[in-house]
Amino acid sequence: MARKKLNIGLIGYGFMGRAHSNAYAQVNKFFDLGYEPVLKAACARKEDKLKPFAENWGWESMESDWRKLIARDDIDVVDISVPNNLHRDIAVAAAQAGKMILCEKPLAMNAAEGLEMTEAVEKAGVANMVWFNYRRVPAISLAKQLIDEGRLGRIFHYRAKYLQDWTINENVPLGGQTLWRLDIDAAGSGVTGDLLAHSIDTAIWLIGGVDKVCGMTETFVKERELQDQPGVRMPVGIDDACAFLAKFKNGALSTFESTRYARGRKNQNTFEVNGEHGSLYFDLEDAHQLQYYDNRLDSHVHGWQTILVTDFEHPYMNKYWVPGCTIGYEHTFINALADFIKGLDTGVPVRPNFRDALETQRVCDAALKSAKTEKWEKVQG
Ligand SMILES: NC(=O)c1ccc[n+]([C@@H]2O[C@H](COP(=O)([O-])OP(=O)(O)OC[C@H]3O[C@@H](n4cnc5c(N)ncnc54)[C@H](O)[C@@H]3O)[C@@H](O)[C@H]2O)c1
């Protein structure tokens, strides 16, 4: 089938630059879509670093200033894969230039910036998506399907954890090209925006909006050496760990916990949902499985069942291999991109869009505020 061209301009060649480049190259190998992404231009400040990346992934051209990339007539979609402090300026400029936007999470440094971005894309009427890729893990999409089918009934509880351990060593420096996540001015927050934003997006998608939160944060290592200036030390402004209680609008009680100090946990992203008729449990470290407890079965066969989410009837899986064969982390980005392009094909816009990500940002802001005020905080908006 003849596909229309979708010219992509990618900003940032790091972790997400690679994940997205792979998705552009692979998406129509597995999905049969109306648009073909063209790797038109990649942008980063340093040409010597960008060049091997661009050659490896097949980007046709390079730019060293994102403003020039946005000004190009041959770019349809701007992909924001840079640290969080750049999201707002790039997104607002891209929207004003009439470009479609694919933005990495968290949407922004805070909800005020996120609102500006959301209003800019809505005013411009441009297609927009935020890469909350975990929605596209087939087992999580299946959890959404089971909840929407009413299999859990009324939801009482949601319990989310997102745990890592890579900043325990106090000699890990701060800032610079690779450790901007530890720099409050580049990241906006610590684990709250980096990790809990994922957990919150998944939770809102699965069970609905959050009414209020009560949280606490801690910064275990108070001062670190700057990566770019050895010998110079700076106070650490990010939250190393964050835990909060949340009351959902539907009345569900919930807990969220995240840290980079859980020794042995590399990227453990879990949730459990408890409803009137059943429960679900997911762990990213066993990403192809969904645990399901169905209380409506006869009582002598009650028990948790493990659904191996690899069958053709499971979300996305009929696009890949035969039942029993698993897919990986990178496929969640391919699935997200396929959904974005399907939205262009059908005219039904993809979710999560900027407004959805703004809702998540507001929960992050409320959790951080509550940690300061030591009080329950309403989620704004
Ligand atoms: N969806 C996910 O699961 C996921 C995972 C990791 C990161 N992220 C998000 O993706 C974004 C990027 O994170 P990453 O891990 O890829 O970071 P990274 O450090 O690996 O890469 C960042 C890139 O941005 C480039 N950059 C920095 N300033 C620039 C500028 N002024 N102009 C052009 N390029 C610039 C850097 O050169 C680098 O190529 C962040 O918002 C992060 O939160 C999302």
Structure tokens at 185: 């001015």
Percent of the chain scoring above 70 in pLDDT: 100
The CB of 11 under 6 Å from ligand 1? The reply is yes
Strand pairing class (233-235; 100-103): unpaired
Structure tokens at 211: 């009414």
Residue 80 pLDDT > 70: yes
The CB of 14 under 6 Å from ligand 1? The reply is yes
The CB of 9 under 6 Å from ligand 1? The reply is no
Q: Please write the tens of the pLDDT for every residue from 146-203.
A: 999 999 999 999 999 999 999 999 999 999 888 999 999 999 999 999 999 999 999 9
What is the per-residue pLDDT for 177?
Answer: 85
Residue 61 pLDDT > 70: yes
Q: Can you give 251-285 as a three-state secondary structure string? A: CCEEEEEEECCCCCCCCEEEEEEEECCEEEEEEHH
Amino acid at 139: A
Burial class (CB in 10 A: 0-12, 13-18, 19+), 245: middle
Whether cis (ω within 30° of 0) applies to the bond prior to 106 is: yes
Structure tokens at 192: 């709250």
**Of 134, 130, 131, 154, nearest in space to 142 by CA:** 134
DSSP secondary structure, 73-97, as one string: TT--EEEE-S-GGGHHHHHHHHHHT
Query: Which residues does residue 365 pair with via DSSP β-bridges, in sequence order?
Result: none
Look over the chain and give the mean of its residue pLDDT values, rounded to a whole number.
97
Rounded to the nearest whole angstrom, what is the distance from the C-alpha of residue 217 to the centroid of ligand 1?
24
Tell me the HSE value of 145 on the side-chain side, using a 13 A CA sphere. Answer: 14
Consecutive H or E run containing 42: strand 35-43
SS3 202: helix
Can you tell me the distance from the alpha carbon of 236 to that of 179, in angstroms, rounded to the nearest whole number?
12
Tell me what the mean pLDDT of segment 87-93 comes to. 98
Q: Please write the tens of the pLDDT for every residue from 258-282.
A: 999 999 999 999 999 999 999 999 9
Can you tell me the distance from the alpha carbon of 112 to that of 264, in angstroms, rounded to the nearest whole number?
36
Residue 367 pLDDT > 70: yes
The CB of 121 under 6 Å from ligand 1? The reply is no
* Of 82, 180, 333, best ligand 1 pocket probe by most atoms within 8 Å of the beta carbon: 82
Residue 345 pLDDT > 80: yes
Confidence bin at 1 (pLDDT 50/70/90):
low
* Of 67, 81, 105, best ligand 1 pocket probe by most atoms within 8 Å of the beta carbon: 81
Rounded to the nearest whole angstrom, what is the distance from the C-alpha of residue 186 to the centroid of ligand 1?
10
260-291 residues labelled b (16+ CB within 10 A) or e (exposed): bbbeebeeebbbbbbbeebbbbbbbeebbbbb
**What domains are there in the chain, each with its CATH number?**
4-133 (3.40.50.720), 134-378 (3.30.360.10)
Q: Please write the tens of the pLDDT for every residue from 303-343.
A: 999 999 999 999 999 999 999 999 999 999 999 999 999 99
Q: Please write the tens of the pLDDT for every residue from 228-243.
A: 999 999 999 999 999 9
